[in-house]
Amino acid sequence: MSIKVFNTMTRKKEDFVPRDAGKVGMYICGPTVYNFIHVGNARTYLSFDIIYRYLRYKGYAVTYVRNLTDVDDKIINKAREEGVSPEEIAERFIEGYWDDVKSMGLAEPTIEPKATEHIGEMIEIIERLIEKGHAYVVDGDVYFELDSFAEYGKLSHRSLDDMRAGERVEIDPRKRHPMDFALWKTAKPGEPAWDSPWGQGRPGWHIECTAMSLKYLGVNFDIHGGGRDLIFPHHENEVAQTEGYTGQPFAKYWLHGGMVNIGDEKMAKSVGNIVLVRELLQGTNANVLRLLALGTHYRSPIDFSPDKLVEAEAAYERFLNARRRIREALEAPSVTALAEKKALMDGLSADLKGAQEKFIESMDDDFNSAAAMAALFELVKEVNTFIEAYGQMTMDARELLEKVDALLVVLSGAVGLDLALPEAGDLADKLPDDVYRLASEVLAGAIDGMSKAELLDKILERRVEARKGKDWALADKIRDGLASAGIEIEDTPLGFRWKLKV
């Protein structure tokens, strides 16, 4: 079965047929680098990471472009606030962003172009838009003329009149239409500026994405995406200027992700309700964050709350526990096949097949990861029941369990979830004596006579409990206490693994 995607442009679920058979070109609007990314941004990048990985799992050769907007008013304002250069701000937050997406376990895009490295391409497009009568110059600024593009509004499904009524646009007498948008802006003294036919200046935000997507993916590439807050005006403007420039459709499928909200409000710096990814990942691991995204269809909103995180943590543990139980069952000695247990085997075989089909079917259906994960959880439930009911394993049963385990790992991996089990590691002997001190501080009850390794286990357990009970102060105290004893807790990829700092 082929993949179906919901296209914002047509408001329909369509068969996904790439421009070039077997290949997919995909452009996702990346961050404007003036702040660390928050959980809302993270969700959008995760959604497209999941889509990117799944397309590759299906065998497509995907060229994934995710840009960096490293010149923008917001960067300039932040630089002014701090009394540093805009370049310094951009550099700092590009580094920060790279750290964050790495710790989130996002696959690297094929190309990650910076706007400032494509100014020449932007100028060429703007020149051509002026020649074609789609843009005009006023005092060193260049504007796109909305009235020159009859289809303006086709992506956001709004008419110009609706927009004017809704947006309360400031009237600028230099513009031909109040909603004409800037392609090029004259630089004020001290602002980043490039030479252009219209004097020193810098590009507008929208033209950046047109230049970078066309350069790396060509005309009418397959998937253009971002959060749904980008549909208007950013993507609507991209469509107008790109199609005005090329005379051809810009992208085949427009995919937009739902917002992360807190209560009734979108998570946004301007609202003041943001949770930074780097803060979140102090207390939880990247797989939990990914499970939070996977558990909701990418187009639906997520109402973010600590409870949601606890749920996702529990879901992740459920996966790992199933894998542990399978492993234990496989380690036990096997017995000869017993006829009366065949029904159990047949049942689990059918569940295995069913889960795989349901997973693929769901992901093919506009990347419905929530239904796909539900299929895996169903399999987890069935395998747990099977192990309990079956008793001592037969050779056949072992083979089947291995298949179940492999399927869980492979399908989770297809959407970027890492189910690797923490390895025991034999570092216990090298533990520092500080563990005794920390144990006496954070563990209630008798700890005398326990080994350092046992105490460390108890301390780590205490931290899990503290986090479940939302006792963040205690959880942090334990993490810090361990850190000063030279023990690092790695929450990121593998649950509660610890290691000694070298």
Positions that interact with ligand AMP (CB under 6 A): 29, 31-32, 40-41, 43-44, 226-227, 229-230, 259-260, 266-268
Select the binding partner of residue 317 from ligand AMP, Zn ion, none (C-beta < 5 to 8 A, by kind): none
Task: Give whichever of 68 and 163 is closer to ligand AMP, judged by the CB atom.
Answer: 68
Least separation, in Å, of the C-beta of 276 and ligand AMP? 13
Within 13 Å, how many C-alpha atoms sit on residue 323's CB side? 20
Asked if residue 231 binds Zn ion (CB under 5 A), the reply is: no
| 214 vs 230, beta carbon nearer ligand AMP | 230
User: Cβ of residue 29: shortest distance to Zn ion, in angstroms?
Assistant: 3
Distance separating alpha carbons of residues 479 and 464, to the nearest angstrom: 11
| One-letter amino acid of 184 | W
Which residue, judged by CB position, is nearest to ligand AMP in the bound state? 227
Measured from the CB atom, the residue of 32 and 284 that comes closer to ligand AMP is 32
* Among ligand AMP, Zn ion, none, partner that 209 touches (CB below 5 to 8 angstroms by kind): Zn ion
Residue 43 binds which of ligand AMP, Zn ion, none (CB < 5-8 A, kind-dependent): ligand AMP
Residue of 5, 9, 28, 29 interacting with Zn ion (CB under 5 A)? 29
What is the closest distance, in whole angstroms, from the C-beta atom of residue 167 to ligand AMP in the complex? 18
User: Could you tell which of ligand AMP, Zn ion, none binds residue 186, using a CB distance below 5 to 8 A set by kind?
Assistant: none
Phi-psi region of 473 (alpha: psi -120 to 50; beta: other; left: phi over 0): alpha
Cβ within 8 Å of residue 402, ≥6 positions away: 326, 330
State which residue, 255 or 397, has the beta carbon closest to ligand AMP.
255
Handedness of CA 215, 220, 221, 227 (dihedral sign): positive
Burial of residue 304, with CB atoms counted within 10 A of its CB: 0-12 exposed, 13-18 middle, 19 or more buried: buried
Closer residue to ligand AMP (CB): 217 or 380: 217
User: How far apart, in whole angstroms, are the C-alpha atoms of residue 190 and residue 75?
Assistant: 13
Residue 63 contact partner, candidates Zn ion, ligand AMP, none, CB within 5 to 8 A by sort of partner: none
**How many residues belong to the site for Zn ion (CB under 5 A)?**
2
| Nearer Cβ to ligand AMP (46/130) | 46
- Indicate whether 28 belongs to the interface with Zn ion (CB under 5 A): no
Angle, CA of 21, 23 and 29, to the nearest 5°:
135
Q: Residue 152 CB, nearest distance to ligand AMP (Å)?
A: 21
List, in sequence order, the alpha helices (H) in 170-254: 205-217, 236-246
State which residue, 86 or 495, has the beta carbon closest to ligand AMP.
Answer: 86
- Copy the structure tokens of residue 364: 């093919």
Asked if residue 122 binds Zn ion (CB under 5 A), the reply is no
**Nearest to residue 224, comparing CAs of 369, 30, 59?**
30
Looking at the Cβ atoms of 134 and 228, the one nearer to ligand AMP is 228
* Binding to Zn ion, residues 159-218 (CB under 5 A): 209
Q: Which does 32 bind (CB under 5 to 8 A by kind): ligand AMP, Zn ion, none?
A: ligand AMP
Shortest Cβ 396–ligand AMP spacing (Å): 47
Smallest separation (angstroms) from Zn ion to the CB of 291: 28
Q: What is the 3-state secondary structure (H, E, C) of 45-108?
A: HHHHHHHHHHHHHCCCEEEEEECEECCCHHHHHHHHHHCCCHHHHHHHHHHHHHHHHHHCCCCC
Q: How far is CA 134 from the centre of its chain?
A: 36
Distance CA 20, CA 245 (A): 22
For residue 233, whether the previous peptide bond is cis, meaning omega lies within 30 degrees of 0, is: yes
Using CB under 5 A, list all residues that contact Zn ion. Answer: 29, 209
